[in-house]
Amino acid sequence: MSMWTKLTLDVPGDLSDLVSGLLFEAGTSGIEVEDGADRTHVRMSAYFEREEGRAAATAALDRLRQDEAGVGPAVVAEVPEERWGEQWRAFFQPVRATDRMVVGPPWAEMEAGPGGMVIVIEPKMAFGTGRHESTRLALRALERAVGPGDRVLDLGTGSGVLGIAAAKLGARCVAVDIDPVALDNARENVAANGVADRVEVLCGSIDAVREAGFDVIVANIQTHVLVPLLGDLRGRLRRGGRLILSGILDREEVQIREALRRTAWGEPEVIREGEWIGVVAERPA
């Protein structure tokens, strides 16, 4: 029986994207992410078919651990190929992310009900599958803010789930990310959902976007990345347009409110789930 290597470790939530990138660069075939016991960390499990990939991942994590004390030690286990496939499929099941939206993997049978929509996400990146509160908060805000004919910018698209949702709500979307691995996953998911004619996927950050006058901008990324971008985002949004921010812990609410005030945004609306918040702010007319 073919065996796979499973590498499991606990990392601070704000480093999960970085660690995910390191694991994919090392050659992992998939990652599972679960909330840690203290809610500030996540538990990541990566699966490797080849030993050299596992060794490369361990070396990269050892280097990262020298600078980031919060990254825990990696626990290595051997998993039969059949069991790994079963675990992977069992972990990623459909999620009702909002009243109207169901998000799930391509192997699952999904129904959203009357007036609802199904979003198919191949969970290669482990993020943007609808399992995390920050994704669900962003989807809830998009559901309320986006209408047919709107132009939407999805900054830090990841799996592409938010841009796909915007397109299924009738918008045209520009989706950007700095991670080439994420972009490949996003393009695959955009095609699988039949919205390639309405979602343009670009490599880069806000500087890669030449357009302005968006009706809605959505960004599900960490607060320390969001704050320096608020001025640039304001310049890309039309007057009266809405900015949707997620990926923010509730303890960071004061910080994000003050940053929005400094950059001349309107008074934000805050939505909550667990220890995470989503923020919706309007560019004043």
* SS3 label, residue 175: strand
According to the model, what pLDDT value does residue 284 have?
A: 92
Residues in the chain: 285
Query: How many Cα atoms are found within 13 Å in the side-chain-facing hemisphere of 76?
Result: 12
According to the model, what pLDDT value does residue 182 have?
A: 82
According to the model, what pLDDT value does residue 195 have?
A: 98
Rounded-to-integer distance, Cα 100 and Cα 89, Å: 24
Sign of CA dihedral 276, 136, 210, 262: negative
Phi and psi dihedrals of 245, rounded to 5? Answer: -115, 140
Please list the pLDDT of the chain residue by residue as tens digits (285 residues). 577 888 898 998 878 877 887 887 787 877 888 776 666 788 888 888 777 777 888 888 888 888 787 888 888 888 776 665 566 667 678 889 999 999 988 888 888 788 889 999 987 655 667 778 889 999 999 999 999 999 999 999 988 999 999 999 999 999 999 888 788 889 999 999 999 999 999 999 998 898 899 999 999 988 888 999 999 999 999 999 999 999 888 889 999 999 999 999 999 999 999 888 999 999 998
**Which pTM value belongs to this model?**
0.78
| Number of CB atoms found within 10 A of residue 124's CB | 20
Residue 177 annotated in ligand binding = yes
Alpha helices, H only, the chain: 16-26, 51-67, 81-91, 133-145, 161-168, 180-192, 223-226, 230-236, 253-262
Going along the chain from its start, the domains and CATH numbers come out as 3-91 (3.30.70.120), 95-282 (3.40.50.150)
SS3 content of the chain, % helix, strand, coil (to 5): 35, 30, 30
Query: How many Cα atoms are found within 13 Å in the side-chain-facing hemisphere of 243?
Result: 29
Phi and psi dihedrals of 241, rounded to 5? Answer: -75, 165
